[in-house]
Chain A
Amino acid sequence: MAISEQLIQATAEKLLTYASIDLPADVKRALNEAYSKEEDPAARSQMEAIFKNIELAHQKRVGLCQDTGVPLFFLKLGLRCQITGDPERALTRAVEKATREVPLRQNVIHPLTKKNSGTNTGWGIPYCHWEVVPDQDYLEITAVPKGFGSEMRAAISWVLTSEEVDRAVVKAVLDIVEDAMGEPCPPVIIGIGIGGFADSSMLNAKKALFRNPIGSHHPDPKVATLEEEIYRAVNSLGLGPIGLGGKTYCLGVHIEINGSHTAVIPISVIYQCWACRYSTARIYNDGRVAYLTHGEGDEQHG
């Protein structure tokens, strides 16, 4: 048995459709919890509009947000599975088809000429992050339509090891929040990567955005304490759900760490808007597809 290019494409099409239209249950739960704590009447009515939007997108099968982002896939390849054909070609075709059929907004342009491909593909897009998983017989695909109102607020800064690193992290996040305020579409999730390299710290920050459940803590108690401190701090600024006042600015602060150089430590911070859209499935070597965030469970192919 093997996983075919066709099955990867069909699965990815479904994932892009699910992700663009319906939020994962965990995100909806986090929004509901935030709403239950919100006291400001204007902020409450803004959150009610968000719930109405979620319901309308679900009923009408349309994109929840008009910014369906730049397509990104996180892939985990079990080393006991076999793939026939070209998986990235399958993902590219899935994006082209979803762009026509969901439809998605045609967002992807050449970075210098600004020419729009019209397909959301081209010049290395969809972007694929591959990881290998030993001893597993599945390919796990997470489709992420990442909006750029939140993406463009990402920043990296560097702290010298002569400084108190945890204070520097708090300050780095507060500086970004002070600058961004309501622009990245709160209630947001804040992902932070501390340590490692420039690229790996930002990748850690981005992966941290999709930690499930939202608001759960890193196993290292020092990291967990820092997550809690930042969460409380950013929610006490009075920014609220659209940045026009209220309690609910942030649904969760998630930090990931890597070992770092003894001289200097990168701190990467990135936002995810409340429309935290992603969808995950595992395709097993025997043709079974398990949808983990959306849909009606497993499908058997072949």
Chain B
Amino acid sequence: MAKEYRFTLPAEEQEVRRLKIGDIVYLTGTCYTMRDMGHRRSIEILQQEEALPFNLAKGALWHCGPIVKKEGESWQVVSAGSTTSSRFTPLGSELIRQVKVRFTIGKGTMGPEAVAAMQEIGACYLNSIGGCAALYAEQIKAVKTVFWTDLGLPEAIWVLEVENLGPLVVGIDSHGQSLFENIKKDMQKALQEIYAASRLEKGYSYTYLPRRVPGKLDR
């Protein structure tokens, strides 16, 4: 049975280990946004054995590029929602391991590398609802600061003060479970029935279809 939890950030390992896939989570505290270019720069910095300019340890990383506006000297978030997380599986997993990111928030899911990293350090992936950016913006109380605006405003690291950010669904827990993988198994079972009903031959290629994901081919 799914339970509901409220966390104040940063969060300790033993707190996060209690969570199971399907549980509902609300987060309060500091949250950092990061997209493609931010991941790349972060990993480059870590590879040079330097420190990131922001402290993600035990914190929450949000796959998000908000709409922002500047009022006087201060930034305000207008709309903020999640971007597709599978893009960040390779670099995000490395970040989780190296910096001990406790919560990663996004939409869709992250791949097996991330599931393993989260199990290792005691972290979770939290699913938000894609497209609900007006809703989540209500839960952002302030922009504390911003890093790396040279990457463009969507790609910058926005440091946000959030209050009860949610509802977020635990999509990957720290015990190697992935809600998405469970749904995928059910889907694949349903697909076999549909193939039969639709006169589709199993293991037969009807078209030339590009179906490659980026990254190393043995991933």
Contacts and interface: CB of A to CB of B under 8 A. Distances in A.
Contacts of A52: 132, 135
A57 interface: yes
A196 to B, nearest CB: 16
Nearest to A230: B198
Interface in A116-170: 116, 118, 147, 149, 152, 155, 157-159, 163-164, 167-168, 170
B154 interface: yes
Given A233-B194, A242-B127, A275-B131, A107 B154 contact: yes
A83 interface: no
Interface in B160-180: 167, 169, 171, 179-180
A182 B179 CA distance: 12
Contacts of B154: 105-107, 116
Interface in A44-92: 45-46, 49-50, 52-53, 56-57, 60, 62-68
Nearest to A106: B153
Contacts of A116: 151-155
A70 to B, nearest CB: 12
B69 A103 contact: yes
**Residue of B22, B81, B183, B207 most packed against chain A (CB within 10 A):** B207
Contact of A63 (B79, B194, B210): B79
A286 to B, nearest CB: 37
Q: For this complex, into which size category does the number of interface residues on chain A fall? A: 35 or more
A197 B173 CA distance: 46
Contacts of B30: none
Interface stretch (A5-13, A172-180, A255-263, A290-298): A172-180
B218 interface: no
B45 interface: no
Interface stretch (B6-14, B53-61, B184-192): B184-192
B65 to A, nearest CB: 6
A183 interface: yes
Contacts, number: 185
A251 interface: no
**Residue of B67, B78, B187 most packed against chain A (CB within 10 A):** B67
A50 B180 contact: no
B47 to A, nearest CB: 20
Given A50-B132, A103-B78, A155-B209, A245 B183 contact: yes
B119 interface: no
Interface in B12-50: 22, 37
Given A62-B78, A62-B79, A157 B208 contact: yes
Contacts of A104: 67
A244 B179 contact: yes
Given A64-B79, A64-B133, A66-B79, A172 B198 contact: no
A152 B108 CA distance: 14
A175 B84 contact: no
A50 B186 contact: no
B169 A244 contact: yes
A171 interface: yes
B86 interface: yes
B206 A167 contact: yes
B107 interface: yes
A37 interface: no
A214 interface: no
Nearest to A175: B209
A24 to B, nearest CB: 15
A106 B199 contact: no
A98 to B, nearest CB: 12
A172 to B, nearest CB: 5
Nearest to A165: B206
A237 B187 CA distance: 5
Contact of B133 (A65, A178, A182, A237): A65
The 3 closest A-B pairs by CB, nearest first: A116-B152, A185-B130, A168-B206
Given A67-B65, A103-B69, A243-B183, 17 more contacts: A49-B132, A57-B134, A62-B67, A63-B67, A63-B79, A64-B133, A65-B130, A66-B67, A114-B152, A172-B207, A182-B180, A182-B183, A236-B190, A244-B180, A244-B183, A245-B186, A273-B130
14 contacts: A50-B132, A53-B134, A63-B67, A64-B134, A65-B133, A66-B133, A104-B67, A116-B152, A155-B211, A174-B194, A182-B109, A182-B130, A233-B198, A273-B130
Interface of B: 2, 22, 37, 64-69, 78-81, 83-84, 86, 107-109, 127, 129-135, 137-138, 151-155, 167, 169, 171, 179-180, 183-184, 186-188, 190-191, 193-195, 198-200, 206-211
